[in-house]
Structure 1
Amino acid sequence: MTAELRIGRRTVELARPRKVLFPDDGITKADLADYYQRVAARMLPHLRGRPLMLERHPDGIDDSGFMQKDIPGHFPDWVAHAELPKEDGTVDYVLCEDTASLVYLAGQACVTPHRWLSRADRPDHPDRLVLDLDPADGEDFATVRRAARRLRALLDELDLPSQVMTTGSRGLHVVVPLQRRDTFDEVRAFGRELAGLLAARYPDELTTEVRRRARRGRLYLDVQRNGYGQTAVAPYAVRARPGAPVAAPLDWAELDDPGLTARRWTLADAGRLADRDPWDTPRGRSAKAAHRRLDALREDEGTGPGEGG
């Protein structure tokens, strides 16, 4: 069985619309497509122009699924794409420019689109810095909320705007809008030093130590997503977990809710997610200028670039 959806000027074919993708919840492929159509106006500004890695689960989320970079040959020619270099060749990535494309991806059992932090026209110059905050084993979510607030305070000191979102998985992402003047290497170096200073300020709770055993129960400040070809979950994306949790943008005040978790919002909240707009759209700032201010702070506090682990 195939359903046909008319979206704008496009006709999107949805094969096997009754296929259950979330067995514990009875959520079908048609439900997933309906969700993405309802939140498209909010989600598309976070996707347009960005290469995507598609997390596909054609046999449902109980199956391991697979990650897809290259656009499949059977995709219709109206789905945009961009061929970008990699170490030993190129990858032809999907771009999601309109609602029809987003719904089509859902019809291909793409449960979760993961986006680059740069755009295809300048792929080595990110316009986002993402810091990933996941709770340590056994820690409650209050530690994550507290770390996010402390990170925001430091970013305010550096005159950088910041946004916060649930990941729909374990933690929070803090997102920093940037100008597209600096390379990934420069932005990631700044992110590492930013995380190092924050960990130095709160050494009993936060760490930049990559090795799990060395973290000793502290929350890891993860900046590893900030590299060429790396991705982060897109705002409003559904995660392949029971209950269909969603990566949801938050207002900073929502961190004061003691009941907040990474899976607070789900596919069932499509209407409320489509109606709310907790993020403003701040202009991106210079990572280089912020890096200079960070160096001055580190010097004042006597924190070297390798400390804070």
Structure 2
Amino acid sequence: MSTVTVGAGRHAVRVARAEKELFPARAGAPAVTKADLAAYYRDIAAYALPHLRDRPLMLEIHPDGIDGPRFMLKNTPSHYPDWIKRTELAKEGGTVTHVLANTADTLVYLAGQGCTTLHRWQSRADRPRQPDRMVFDLDPTDAPGGGRAGAGDPFAAVRRAARALGELLDELELPWAPMTSGSRGLHLVVPLDRQADVDEVRDFAREVADTLAARHPDELTTQPRKHDRGRRLYLDVLRNGYAQTAVAPWSVRALPGAPVAAPITREALEDPALDARRWTIRNALQHAAEGPWDGLLPARGRSLGPAARRLRALAD
């Protein structure tokens, strides 16, 4: 197989086995090669990098395509070029040296290594215990697309839960922005001011989820065990713990058709055509250019203190 050179940022990145099909053609969707993946990450970089800069990453790598072995990579391999930024952070029993995807050439290089998906921390490397993002993952119990079996609109339960969570966050006066996960559900992202410790953020997110589940006990749950959920949608807040990750905006998921985790407008939650895999590597760039999160994520995040007091007042 041939090697191609992809110009991005300050470097021309060599992508070996460029014709390798990482996503085989299925159900009318054309195959996606390694060269296609590298070109996508080069083109989407202007939109993706603001959500990645200085954030430690866990890399999901499929060197032989999505039907082959998968590797979840945290520690940066020694053969990665020196121009790729790294950060060494504490873990139980030692440290891990994570990749920082701060430049377009880094994204292209990672794609050339078979990295399909970037999973990011909610904090930045300089203050790893002070997140500037809080994430709620709305995870349907049933098959991809979500919702309850037999429903006319299979993603309706997910959209409904996102709207309800958004209303609660509005009551708490916290800004929020929705995103398709590219896999099964939706994420709601809340910008923070980096003052609260990660444990405080995780505990607050759990209280918000518990409050919402109590309002909608037949539809929503915070039970982590699948057999305790029944047919209720799971409100997952575990991605807010230290060293936990969530899929980064505009990342490709290792699923047929190469779907993308795509930011969306709040109005899109009313669209019955919305589902978790609506955008793919083929149409995500056009969607990104429409600016779906314009005005939703303020430059400075909010403090949890006032929101926590409002949440306690709701419980009284």
Please tell me the TM-score bracket, short chain as reference: over 0.9
The equivalent residue for 2:283 is 269
What residue is the counterpart of 1:260 in the other structure?
274
Identify the residue that residue 21 of structure 1 maps to in structure 2.
22
The 5-angstrom pairing of residues 57-136 of structure 1 reads: 57-136=62-141
What is the TM-score with the length of structure 1 in the denominator?
A: 0.94
2:255 to 241, 248, 263: 241
Deviation at 1:22, TM superposition (A): 0.6
Are 2:38 and 1:33 aligned?
A: yes
Q: Among the aligned pairs, what percent are the same residue?
A: 61
Secondary structure at 1:250 match in 2: coil
Aligned to 1:54: 59
- Residues 22 and 244 in structure 1, CA contact (< 8 A), matched pair in contact too: yes
3-state DSSP class of the match of 1:196?
Answer: helix
**Structure 1 counterpart of 2:305, one-letter code:** K
Structure 1: state its 5+ residue gaps.
300-309
Please say if residues 6 and 38 of structure 2, whose CA atoms lie closer than 8 Å, have aligned partners that are also in contact: no
Amino acid at match of 1:182: A
Matched to 2:304, the amino acid is A
In structure 2, what residue type is equivalent to 1:74?
A: H
Structure-2-length-normalised TM-score: 0.92
SS at match of 2:136: strand
- Distance, in Å, in 2 between the alignment partners of 1:261 and 1:114 is 20
Q: Does residue 196 of structure 1 match 2:245?
A: no
CA distance in 2, matches of 1:192, 1:78: 39
1:290 matched to 2:295? The reply is: no
Partners in 1 of 2:233 and 2:156 — Cα distance? Answer: 11
* Counterpart code for 1:160: L
The offset of 1:4, in angstroms, is: 1.8
Give 3-state SS (helix, strand or coil) of 2:283's partner.
helix
* Alignment-derived partner of residue 146 in structure 1: 160
- 1:136 is displaced (CA, Å) by 2.0
Alpha carbons 1:56, 1:112 under 8 Å: kept: yes
Of residues 29-38 and 280-289 in structure 1, the stretch that sits farther from structure 2 once superposed is 280-289
- The answer to whether the 8 Å contact 2:262/2:284 transfers is no
Deviation at 1:291, TM superposition (A): 1.0
After superposition, what is the alpha-carbon deviation per residue over 1:68-100, rounded to whole angstroms, capped at 9, x for unaligned?
001111111000000001111000000011111
1:306 alignment counterpart: none
Aligned length: 299
What do the CA deviations read for 1:8-56 (whole angstroms, capped 9, x no partner)? 3212111111111011332100000111111110000000000000000
Distance (whole Å) between structure 2 residues aligned to residue 292 and residue 35 of structure 1: 44
1:221 aligns with 2:238: no
State the SS of the aligned residue for 1:106.
Answer: helix
Distance 2:106 2:290 in 1: 23
Q: Which ranges of structure 2 fall in alignment gaps of 5 or more residues?
A: 149-153
Per the TM alignment, residue 260 of structure 1 is displaced from its structure 2 partner at its CA by 0.7
Partner letter of residue 166 of structure 2?
R
Q: State the Cα distance separating 1:250 from its structure 2 match.
A: 0.2
Contact 1:41–1:274, Cα closer than 8 Å, also in 2: no
Instruction: Tell me the CA shift for residue 274 of structure 1.
Output: 3.8
Spell out, residue by residue over 1:108-162, the C-alpha distance to the aligned partner (whole angstroms, 9 max, x if none).
Answer: 1100010000000000111111011022226121000000000000000001000
Stretch deviating more after TM superposition (193-202 or 268-277): 268-277
SS at match of 1:136: coil
Aligned alpha-carbon RMSD (Å): 1.1
Runs of 4+ in 1 over 6 A off after TM superposition: none
